[in-house]
């Protein structure tokens, strides 16, 4: 009887907060955080960076403003990412970042308190402890209920793939901290790999290449700019060249060099090869009937890493399957969380964990 009363009370409380709060889907990425608001679409797309004053513990900036501080702060101010490889590495800072985004969504609301339901996309192979850290951070940041969903599942839903049918769908989501490779059927993951090789590691490849080949020290942001502008995984029709500025490791003075797309292709080849080898491994682990479906539908690429020029051609060449990059791949996971939020009662089975409720009525 007491449990039934509590259930009714929670339902009433949920309706009250549901009227003044907005359900939120969050792609909590290592590099960027995207926020989807039910009924509005994606309203926030900001770097997952927080600037902290180490002397006072005060958080100075979050998102774009904090990103602008990277590499430019005095020693007592650190611009850091609270997530490493898609996993919470600093609980308190992650909580503050989530609170900032939740408050930003509700800043135009007339209510004094916002208690939204929050759905967060996370890497597919995180531990139960790491899942709990994400849920607890969302609850501490002000969510009344928190759900989590595997990123490849969210990306597949964002690509409008029929994930609940008895058909094979293969998704490769290359983000900042992790690359998620999964075969999905009947609302579940049949085979998957979560790699700690993704956009950030590709940036590091470029930094290492410049250091080893040219004795030039460049920063992470410069490496990312090079990757975006002339980075490619497959030979291009036209040669492209870019100037790079950094510090000469021999003289210690500023130095400028020119690199072309073939050199950057060589620089990032190791990471690209690791991703493709794992795609092949997943294909080998997939039941033949589902392979037939995937051959018909093709492999779907999502995430920022999928925008590397020629990556789809290289994967197609290596696997013998058709490959396509989904429309607007950067927002795949966030859009997937939004689609789930629109019908969360019927799609609860595909979530990575049950809801967590911090209400004292629980």
pLDDT confidence of residue 13: 45
The predicted-structure confidence for 64-93, as pLDDT tens digits, reads as follows 888 888 777 788 888 888 888 778 888 888
Asked if 122 contacts 86 with a C-beta cutoff of 8 angstroms, the reply is: yes
- In the three-class reduction of DSSP (H, G, I as helix; E, B as strand; rest coil), residue 16 is classed as helix
Listed by start position, the domains of the chain span 2-48+84-154+332-357, 168-197+272-329, 199-268
Q: Do domains 2-48+84-154+332-357 and 199-268 have the same CATH topology?
A: no
* Ranges of the chain whose pLDDT falls below 50: 2-20, 110-112, 354-362
Phi/psi of residue 297, nearest 5 degrees:
-85, -30
* CA dist., res. 228 & res. 6, Å (int): 53
pLDDT confidence of residue 53: 87
| CATH number of the 2-48+84-154+332-357 domain | 3.30.420.40
Q: Give the contacts of 81 (CB within 8 A, at least 6 positions apart).
A: 30, 31, 48, 49, 50, 89
This prediction has a pTM of 0.85
Q: Give the contacts of 172 (CB within 8 A, at least 6 positions apart).
A: 179, 180, 181, 275, 279, 299, 300, 301, 302, 303, 306, 315
Which superfamily does CATH assign the domain made up of 168-197+272-329 to?
ATPase, nucleotide binding domain (3.30.420.40)
pLDDT confidence of residue 21: 60
Q: Beta strands 32-37 and 41-47: pairing type?
A: antiparallel
The CATH-assigned architecture of domain 199-268 is: Alpha-Beta Complex (3.90)
Residue 360 token pair: 């004292």
pLDDT confidence of residue 158: 93
């Amino acid at each position: 009887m007491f449990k039934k009363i509590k259930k009714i009370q929670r339902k009433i409380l949920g309706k009250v907060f549901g009227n003044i709060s907005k359900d939120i889907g969050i792609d909590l990425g290592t590099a960027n955080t995207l926020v989807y608001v039910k009924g509005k679409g994606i309203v926030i797309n900001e770097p997952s960076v927080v600037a902290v004053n180490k002397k006072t513990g005060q958080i100075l900036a979050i998102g774009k403003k904090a990103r602008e501080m990277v590499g430019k702060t005095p020693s007592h101010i650190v611009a850091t990412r609270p997530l490493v490889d898609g996993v919470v590495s600093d609980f308190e800072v992650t909580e503050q970042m989530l609170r900032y985004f939740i408050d930003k969504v509700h800043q135009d609301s007339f209510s004094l308190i916002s208690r939204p339901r929050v759905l967060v996309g996370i890497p597919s192979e995180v531990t139960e402890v790491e899942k709990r850290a994400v849920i607890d951070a969302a609850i501490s940041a002000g969510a009344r209920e928190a759900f989590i969903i595997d990123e490849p599942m969210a990306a597949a839903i964002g690509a409008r793939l029929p994930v609940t049918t008895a058909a094979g769908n293969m998704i490769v989501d290359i983000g900042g901290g992790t690359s998620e490779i999964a075969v999905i059927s009947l609302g579940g993951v049949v085979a998957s790999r979560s790699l700690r090789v993704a956009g950030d590691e590709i940036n590091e490849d470029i930094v290492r290449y410049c250091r080893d080949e040219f004795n030039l020290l460049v920063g992470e942001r410069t490496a990312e700019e090079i990757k975006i502008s002339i980075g490619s995984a497959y030979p291009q029709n036209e040669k492209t060249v870019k100037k790079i500025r950094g510090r000469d490791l021999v003289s210690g003075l500023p130095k400028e060099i020119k690199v072309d797309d073939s050199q950057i292709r060589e620089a990032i080849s190791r990471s690209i090869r690791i991703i493709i080898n794992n795609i092949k491994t997943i294909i080998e682990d997939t039941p033949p009937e589902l392979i037939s479906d995937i051959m018909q539908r093709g492999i779907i690429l999502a995430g920022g890493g999928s925008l590397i020029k020629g990556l789809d051609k290289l994967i197609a060449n290596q696997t013998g399957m058709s490959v396509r990059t989904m429309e607007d791949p950067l927002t795949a996971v966030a859009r997937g969380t939004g689609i789930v939020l629109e019908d969360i009662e019927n799609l609860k089975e595909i979530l990575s964990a049950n809801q967590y409720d911090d209400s004292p009525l629980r």
